[in-house]
Amino acid sequence: MESRIAVIGAGNGGTAIAAHLTRLGAEVRLCDLFPSYLEGIIAEGGITLTENGTSVKYPVSMVTTEVAKAIAGVHLVMVVTPSFTHKMIAEACAPYLEDGQTVVLNPGRTAGAVDFFNTIRKNGCKADVVIAEAQTLVYACRKTGPASVEIFGTKKQVALGVFPASRTAEVLKVLDPLYPQFVPAANCLETSLSNIGALFHPTPVLLNIGRIESDPNDFRYYIDGISPSVARLIHNIDLERLAVAKAYGVTVETAEEWMLQSYETHGDSLYELIQNNEAYHGIKGPHTIDVRYVTEDAPMSLVPISELGHIAGVPTPNIDAVIRLASTIYERDFRAEGRSAKNLGLEGMTVAEVLHFFENGEK
C-alpha cells in the first residue's frame, strides 16, 4: 500500500490505529502534542501490537510532536484523541491543512465534525478539506505499556458521518482499503446521535463513584459496573436519545441493536448483552473519578444531545439529570463548557436549518 497517513494521538486508540495502518503497509506519521506519549515509542523504535494472543512490533515511519510535519503531504489525517482536545487539535492543524485532505475523528462523539470544521475556519483555514466522524472507535483496546497496545475486539461495523454529507462517497473511497468496517451514515447527525459512549460512560461512572473513590481492588467496568439497575437507567437515557434522533428524521440503532451489530454477543436485554460480550471482560474500571468517561462524555456527548433535543422541543430529563449531577460533583459547568448550541453555532436555528447545515455545510 502506497499511502501517507497522519495519526494524531498516541493513546489507546491512536497507537492501535498507527500499528494497524503500518501493518497494512502505509507510511504512518504518529503525532502527539504531548511528548510524554511518544517517548516510549521513540525509545522502542515502534509499537508492539497484541491481537488474538500474538504480539508483533511495527516501526512507525515518523514520530513527532509537530503537526505541520505530520500532516504535510498526507491524504488522510486520523485524529484519535479525546473529544475535549478536538478544538486544540483543529487549531494546531488549521494553518497546515491542504486541499484534498480528509480528517477523520475517531470518534467524533457528538457534533465533533462540525466543531472541528468551525474551529479550522475560525483560525483562517481556507483549504478544501472534508471532516468526518466515526460513531465510535473501531477497537476495544488498551495500551499495555509506553510502546505497546492490545486489541481486545474489533467492531464489525462503524457508522461514518461526513461534513458536509454531500461528500460521503469520496471519504469512504479513501477509507475502505484501510477500514472496510466503516459504513456510510446519512449525515453527521446520524453519527452524533448514535454516540453509544454517551450511554455507557458518564452514567456508570456516576453510579459507581463510591467504589471508584474508595475500593482499591480492580472492578470490571462493564461486567461489574453495569448492574441490572444501572442498565435500566442507561436504557431510559437511550430512549431520550432515540426521541431526539426521530425529531431530526435520523434513524439510529438502539443500544441493544448496536451491541448485536458491533460484537459477538447474545441476550434478551441490554444487561445480558453487556454481560455476554467477551470484548468487555478485560476492561477494568477507573481508579479515579478524574476520567474522560465523564470529563469528555458529559460535555461533548450528553450536552449536545440535550441541546439538539431542546432545539427540537424533545424533553431529555434523564440526560439533563446526569449532566447536572456530574457538574455538581466535578464542580464544573459541563453545559457551558461543552458542545452547547451556542458553542456549535446552532443557537436560534430551527430543526430544518440544522438539517440543511449538516447536509451542505452552509448556514
Per-residue pLDDT tens for 13-42?
999 999 999 999 999 999 999 999 999 999
Q: Do 183 and 35 belong together in one domain?
A: yes
User: Can you tell me the mean pLDDT for 63-67?
Assistant: 98
Name the DSSP class of 220: B
Cell of 121: 475556519
User: Can you tell me the mean pLDDT for 190-197?
Assistant: 92
**Within a domain: 363:** no
User: Can you tell me the mean pLDDT for 144-159?
Assistant: 94
**Within a domain: 168:** yes
The residue whose grid cell reads 451491541 is: 259
**Within a domain: 8:** yes
Q: Do 203 and 155 belong together in one domain?
A: no
Q: Helices (H) and strands (E) in the chain — how many of each?
A: 20, 12
Positions marked catalytic = 201, 297
Q: Which of 141, 120, 138 is nearest to 129 (CA)?
A: 120
Range of the domain at 154: 4-192
**47 pLDDT more than 80:** yes
Amino acid identity for residue 243 in this structure: A
Task: Tell me whether residue 258 is exposed, middle or buried, using C-beta atoms within 10 angstroms of its C-beta: 0 to 12, 13 to 18, 19 or more.
Answer: buried
Can you give the pLDDT at residue 245? 97
Can you give the pLDDT at residue 212? 96
* Mean confidence (pLDDT) of the chain: 95
Query: Which runs of E-coded beta strand occur in 14-163?
Result: 27-31, 47-51, 54-58, 62-64, 76-79, 102-105, 130-134, 139-145, 148-154, 158-163
Can you give the pLDDT at residue 180? 96
Q: Do 202 and 177 belong together in one domain?
A: no
Q: Mind listing the pLDDT tens digit for each residue in 257-315?
A: 989 987 899 999 999 999 999 989 988 999 999 999 999 999 999 999 999 999 999 99
How far apart are alpha carbons 104 and 180 in whole angstroms? 14
Q: Which of 150, 168, 192 is the last residue of a domain?
A: 192
Residues, the chain: 363
**Within a domain: 362:** no
Q: Do 225 and 332 belong together in one domain?
A: yes
Q: Do 222 and 270 belong together in one domain?
A: yes
Q: Is 288 helix (H, G, I), strand (E, B) or coil?
A: coil
**Residue 219 parent element (H or E):** none
* CA 135 to mean position of chain CA atoms: 6
Q: Which of 192, 209, 226 is the last residue of a domain?
A: 192
Can you give the pLDDT at residue 313? 98
**What is the total count of domains within the chain?**
2
Q: Are 68 and 29 in contact (CB under 8 A)?
A: no
* CA 162 to mean position of chain CA atoms: 14
Q: Do 207 and 169 belong together in one domain?
A: no
Q: Do 178 and 247 belong together in one domain?
A: no
**Within a domain: 14:** yes
Q: Do 270 and 204 belong together in one domain?
A: yes
Write the CATH number for 157: 3.40.50.720
CA atoms in the 13 A half-sphere facing the CB of 21: 27
Q: Which of 192, 207, 233 is the last residue of a domain?
A: 192
Can you give the pLDDT at residue 1? 52
CB atoms within 10 A of CB 1: 11
Q: Mind listing the pLDDT tens digit for each residue in 98-135?
A: 999 999 999 998 999 999 999 999 999 999 999 999 98
Q: Do 204 and 179 belong together in one domain?
A: no
Q: Do 147 and 210 belong together in one domain?
A: no
How far apart are alpha carbons 227 and 346 in whole angstroms? 37
* CA 86 to mean position of chain CA atoms: 10
User: Can you tell me the mean pLDDT for 142-170?
Assistant: 94
Can you give the pLDDT at residue 279? 86
Q: Which of 41, 189, 174 is nearest to 113 (CA)?
A: 189
Q: Do 159 and 59 belong together in one domain?
A: yes
Amino acid identity for residue 245 in this structure: A
Q: Mind listing the pLDDT tens digit for each residue in 229-259?
A: 999 999 999 999 999 999 999 999 999 998 9
User: Can you tell me the mean pLDDT for 206-216?
Assistant: 94
Q: Which of 363, 110, 105, 130 is nearest to 252 (CA)?
A: 110
Can you give the pLDDT at residue 2? 56
Q: Which of 55, 116, 112, 65 is nearest to 89 (CA)?
A: 116
Write the CATH number for 349: 1.10.1040.10
Q: Do 171 and 258 belong together in one domain?
A: no
Bridge partners, residue 128, by sequence: none
